[in-house]
Structure 1
Amino acid sequence: MNLTGRTVLVTGGTRGIGRALTRRLVALDAHVVAVGRDPDGLARLGAEYGDRVSAEALDLSDPEAVGDFADGLPGRHPALSVVINNAGVQNLSDFLTADPRDTRTVLRRELAVNLDAVITLSTGLLPHLRDRPSAAIVNISSGLAIVPKPSAPVYCAAKSAVRTFTRALRYQCEDSAPQIRVIDAILPLVDTDMTAGRGRGKISAAETARAVLEGVRRERTEIYVGKARFLPALMRISPSLGHRALRHG
């Protein structure tokens, strides 16, 4: 799949992996519709890339706003042919010590960004993508969807749901719209603001973006990035070992 000259939606495009994806896509002469909540970050993208990037403000935790955005986007960007659902938030949660009344709003926002927005944008833009001769939906997932860690149960659950949704949507497209590639990108621990102060052996956002886009170019249905490449084999050989690694990691 050639990304040169395409119009690509990147959620979470102002920072971390999204910013790195935007940079690489612009270098490929693609036009990027970068979505984010930070007005300053969106302004910096516009200043840096000019008309190569269309920066659009959107709160992905607001389901109504996400639905309206999906409905209106094809009219503003009729050449759109690739959607990368990259944005994500992760909250560390200890349900045995936290007051559930204090955490509900935060956890619902986490689900809205990590799962609801992915489903709404994927399905909402599907009628437009179906009319394109070649298109792709790339949903950024995580190794934590396969092997969860105890400190972020809602994030892990949402990413697991994204993987299942992506696979089922891929089946539908293979049957009825084979020109639409539906791709799951499974990431390891990436060095971003979200993971600051957590874990070791992180991969850079730039290397992550390179690997994801290379997987798209090669038309992979699943893109395992960095150390996540070892997960399928590990879980085949010894699921208990895989779970134990994150259980005590």
Structure 2
Amino acid sequence: MKLSGRTVLVTGGTRGIGLALTRRLVGLGARVVAVGRDPGGLAGLTAAFGDRVSAEALDLSDHSAVDAFTDGLPDRHPGLSVVVNNAGVQNLTDFLTGDPADLRPLLRRELAVNLDAVITLSTGFLPHLRGLPSAAIVNISSGLAVAPKPSAPVYCAAKSAVRTFTRALRYQCEDTAPGIRVMDAILPLVDTDMTAGRGRGKISPDETARAVIAGMERERSEIYVGKAGLLPALMRIAPSVGYRALRHG
């Protein structure tokens, strides 16, 4: 899959992994539709990349706004052929000490951004994408989808659901829309604002973006990045070790 000349949607495109993806895609000759909530970050993208980036303000936790965005984007960007669902939020949650009433709105937003928006964008663009000779949907998941950590149970559950959804959508596209490649990028711990002050052995957003894009170019159904590549064998041979490693990672 050549990315030069394509129009690529990247959610969470103003920070962290999304910003690194945007930079690399522009460098490869793609045009990026970058989605984010921060007006300053969006303005910075257009200032840096000019007409190579189209900045779209969107709150992915707002169901109505996501629906309207999904319905209208193909008319504004008819060249759209790749969708990268990268945006994510993570709340550290202790259900035994936190107030359930206080936690509910945070966790519902977490599910909206990490799962509902991914499903809406992935499926909402299908009528447009299936009319193209070549297209792709890339959903960013995590090693925590395979083996969860106790401090972010809803994030882990959402990422696990994204992996299952992505595989099932891939099956459907293979059967009836083979021009659409559906890919799952499984990440290790990445050094972003979301992980500040947590964990060790992080990789950089740029290293992550480089690996994800390489997997896209090779049309890999599953793109394991960094140490996440050890998970399939580890969970097959010694699942208890895998669960323990991520539980305390």
Please indicate the TM-score interval, normalised by the length of the shorter structure.
Answer: over 0.9
Q: Which residue of 2 aligns with 1:32?
A: 32
- Post-superposition offset of 1:241: 1.1
Q: Which residue of 1 aligns with 2:22?
A: 22
Number of residue pairs matched? 249
What is the root-mean-square deviation of aligned Cα atoms in Å? 0.5
AA partner of residue 221 (structure 2): T
The answer as to 2:226 corresponding to 1:226 is yes
- Post-superposition offset of 1:248: 3.0
AA partner of residue 63 (structure 1): H
Q: Which residue of 2 aligns with 1:3?
A: 3
The answer as to 2:154 corresponding to 1:144 is no
Q: Which residue of 1 aligns with 2:91?
A: 91
Q: Which residue of 2 aligns with 1:203?
A: 203
The answer as to 2:120 corresponding to 1:120 is yes
The answer as to 2:174 corresponding to 1:183 is no
Q: Which residue of 2 aligns with 1:173?
A: 173
SS at match of 2:32: strand
- Post-superposition offset of 1:240: 1.0
Measure, in 2, the Cα distance between the counterparts of 1:240 and 1:203. 24
- Post-superposition offset of 1:244: 1.4
Q: Which residue of 1 aligns with 2:241?
A: 241
SS at match of 2:133: coil
Measure, in 2, the Cα distance between the counterparts of 1:35 and 1:247. 32
The answer as to 2:172 corresponding to 1:162 is no
Task: String of CA shifts for 1:92-112, please: whole Å, max 9, x gaps.
Answer: 000000010000000000000
TM-score (ref. length: structure 1):
0.99
Measure, in 1, the Cα distance between the counterparts of 2:127 and 2:62. 22
- Post-superposition offset of 1:206: 0.2
AA partner of residue 79 (structure 2): A
SS at match of 1:83: strand
AA partner of residue 118 (structure 1): V
Q: Which residue of 2 aligns with 1:50?
A: 50
% identical aligned pairs? 82
Measure, in 1, the Cα distance between the counterparts of 2:201 and 2:247. 17
Measure, in 2, the Cα distance between the counterparts of 1:49 and 1:169. 33
SS at match of 1:155: helix
Q: Which residue of 2 aligns with 1:110?
A: 110
Dislocated runs of 4+, deviation >4 Å: none
SS at match of 1:191: coil
- Post-superposition offset of 1:15: 0.3
AA partner of residue 40 (structure 2): D
- Post-superposition offset of 1:125: 0.5
SS at match of 1:123: helix
Structure 2 spans left out of the alignment, 5+ residues: none
Task: String of CA shifts for 1:131-187, please: whole Å, max 9, x gaps.
Answer: 011000000000000010000000000000000000000000000000100000000
Task: String of CA shifts for 1:192-241, please: whole Å, max 9, x gaps.
Answer: 00000000100000000000000000010000000000000000001111
